[in-house]
Amino acid sequence: MKRRDFVGLTSLAAGALFLPSLPGFGHTAVDPARLLEPGADVIVKKRLADAALNAAKTAGASYADVRIGRYLNQYVFTREKQVQNIVSTESYGVGIRVLVNGCWGFASTSVVTEDSLAATARVAVDIAKANRLVQKEPVQLAPQSGYGEVSWKTPIQQGAFEVPVKQKVDLLLAANAAALDNGASYINSALFQVNEQKYFASTDGSYIDQDVHRLWPTFSATAVDTKSGKFRSRGSLSSPVGLGFEYLTPSAAEQIAGPQGTNTVGYKLRYDILADAALAGKQAKAKLSMKSVTPGKYDLVLDPGHLGLTIHESVGHPTELDRVLGYEANFAGTSFATLEWKAKNLPYGSKSVNIVADKLQPGSVGAVGYDDEGVKTREWDLIKEGKLVNYQKIRDQAHIVGQKESDGCCYAQSWEDVQFQRMPNVSLRPGTAKMSVDEMVSKVDKGIYIAGAGSFSIDQQRYNFQFGGQLFFAIEKGKITEPLEDVAYQSNTQEFWGACAGSCDQSDYRLYGTFFDGKGQPSQVSSVSHGSATTRFNGVNVINTARKV
């Protein structure tokens, strides 16, 4: 039996978001004050790393890297007027990866001493040697010069752990009250705070110390009409961010109004949880009596808080080179965008589709200075004027597409997991011509404006997808007319991006993000952001999702 089976069925199936209550294996529950204590000094970490690297080389490794990781998390969960749980955890240990005669080996340990690291390095070498017997394609690692001793830190203004727990609880409870006062019957809210203190060293001569911070305030407000038995929910319009607690200080300059007649608000790098919760309460209640959509073809105007998830699924995943090559065939799936497909130079989307990958964007959850195999991060084009021009790669994949360098996309969720190719931030460039969301709506004859991410599903090769949302508004003859319910759109990746009719300008640009992008077996999660401005797609098939049971 697996641990996840033991944890078993839970009462909040609909909100997997709100599940965690006990720290996982390897994570130690600690006093919140512990999260403010510094980790080991870089001098100590360098000595430990060298012990592992030397042991690996002596045992026969041609390359080795060591990740000394201290992972600090604090999660606060509330519902209505009460705190459900406050969890502070620390996980500290070391993962060692070695290359022996073209075969990878990996081992990890929570005992962080020079002897233990040397022994763990030898275990990794033994595993590599055992696997070599059945290895058919020897690993070819793109060369990487060492950076020496360098460091990087997420540019935050206020570390979330420095804020007293009471202040965080009070903020969530105030948001809950705002939702309940405005029509919600129930609300769950949560604040996720993450700090990854990662030290990377490799036989290439890099010693990289990084301090990565991420934050995610979120809620789901539900309105119930007992008489009719109907219930509807509205999720928060926040996003996971690579920012400190300053994200929760509202700023008028970081907000942008949705189209006239929608009363929606989009958030950039600052979020007003109290205003959003109050609006969510009203909107959840209003959803109980909204008009159900008439299925058919509509022009869709998609807000960045919604479109980010569609970008994630229909561009982010199909351009991961490991999926393209078949390494995820048994789990996440493969990709339609194979090397053969790319060679045909077929359109991925219309000429207005320009999609960029990066691990740098300020405020994004994917931003780091260096990836988990010691490559300095950068920005590169995936789709230019509708054509696929590149993939997402790591060091042992670059040669497959005739390239000499990694894109810096390597990541492991913890010291105890092996690093592999993970999605960087993948974003749609905003339109270059000036265009506000009201101007965009004014040109739509029959359409639907969608805000916020909802239901999502896409096939294993990333052709056919279906997306819902949080808020839907009918557009008729250039005007928002009324809110709608039961909306989902079904399309095909190339057809959908081919129907892209342009984006609003940079002033409307915002980031969507997730903490829980899953891939690999055993499965690992990673955090990724997707930026865009509000964008129009013509003639998309909309279905009505209401049923009777």
Q: Which of 26, 17, 21 is nearest to 7 (CA)?
A: 21
14 part of the interface to another protein, by CB under 8 A: yes
Task: Give least dist CB 531 to another protein, A.
Answer: 23
The nearer residue to another protein, 291 or 434, going by C-beta atoms, is 291
Cβ atoms within 10 A of the Cβ of 86, count? 16
Q: How far is the CB of 94 from another protein (least distance, A)?
A: 14
Q: Which of residues 264-283 bind another protein (CB under 8 A)?
A: none
- Min CB(330)–another protein separation in Å: 4
> Minimal distance in Å, beta carbon 324 to another protein?
11
Q: Does 231 bind another protein (CB under 8 A)?
A: yes
| Residue with Cβ nearer another protein (304 or 520) | 520
Angle at 350 between CA 460 and CA 384, to 5 degrees: 85
Site for another protein in 78-117 (CB under 8 A): 82-83, 86-87, 104-107, 110
Distances (CA, A) of 376 to 143, 145, 321, 385, 392: 13, 10, 19, 27, 14
> Residue 440: which of 538, 351, 311 has the closest Cα?
538
Among 420, 473, 496, 497, binds another protein (CB under 8 A): 420
Chain positions 167 to 226 lying near another protein, rule: CB under 8 A, are 169, 185-186, 222, 224-226
Q: Is residue 249 part of the contact set for another protein (CB under 8 A)?
A: no
The answer to the question of residue 344 lying near another protein (CB under 8 A) is no
Looking only at residues 311 through 340 of this chain, which bind another protein when binding is defined by CB under 8 A? 325-331, 333-334, 336, 338
d(CA 46, CA 434): 51
Subset of 428-487 contacting another protein (CB under 8 A): 455-464, 466, 468, 486
73 forms part of the interface with another protein (CB under 8 A): no
When asked if residue 36 is in the footprint of another protein (CB under 8 A), the reply is no
CB of 25 to another protein, least distance (A): 4
**Are 472 and 484 contacting, i.e. CB atoms less than 8 angstroms apart?**
yes
CB atoms closer than 10 angstroms to residue 71: 21
Q: 527, 423 in Cβ contact below 8 A?
A: no
Please identify, using beta-carbon distances, which residue of 30 and 444 lies nearer to another protein: 30
3-state secondary structure 256-308: EECCCCCCCEEECCCCCHHHHHHHHHHHHHHHCCCEECCCEEEEEEECHHHHH
DSSP 8-class letter at 505 = B
Residues 125-144 that bind another protein (CB under 8 A): 127, 130-131, 133-137
SS3 452: coil
Closer residue to another protein (CB): 253 or 548? 548
Q: How far is the CB of 309 from another protein (least distance, A)?
A: 11
Contact call for residues 161 and 221 (beta carbons, < 8 A): no
Minimal distance in Å, beta carbon 191 to another protein? Answer: 15
Residue 396 C-beta: closest distance to another protein, Å: 11
Stretch that binds another protein, among 24-32, 355-363, 429-437, 471-479 (CB under 8 A): 24-32
Q: Which helix (H) or strand (E) holds 55?
A: helix 42-58
Residue carrying structure tokens 């590149």? 390
Asked if 119 is part of the footprint of another protein (rule: CB under 8 A), the reply reads: no
Q: How far is the CB of 456 from another protein (least distance, A)?
A: 6
Q: Are 533 and 480 contacting, i.e. CB atoms less than 8 angstroms apart?
A: no
Query: For residue 24, what are its two tokens?
Result: 């996982």
User: Which residues ranging from 380 to 419 are in contact with another protein (CB under 8 A)?
Assistant: 418
CB of residue 461 to another protein, shortest distance in Å:
4
- Does 230 bind another protein (CB under 8 A)? Our answer is yes
Residue 192 burial class via C-beta count within 10 angstroms: exposed 0-12, middle 13-18, buried 19 and up: buried
Q: Among the residues of 105-162, which ranges form H helices? A: 114-132
Q: Does 546 bind another protein (CB under 8 A)?
A: yes
Neighbours of 50 (CB within 10 A): 16
Site string for another protein, 514-543 (x = CB under 8 A): -------xxx-----------------x-x
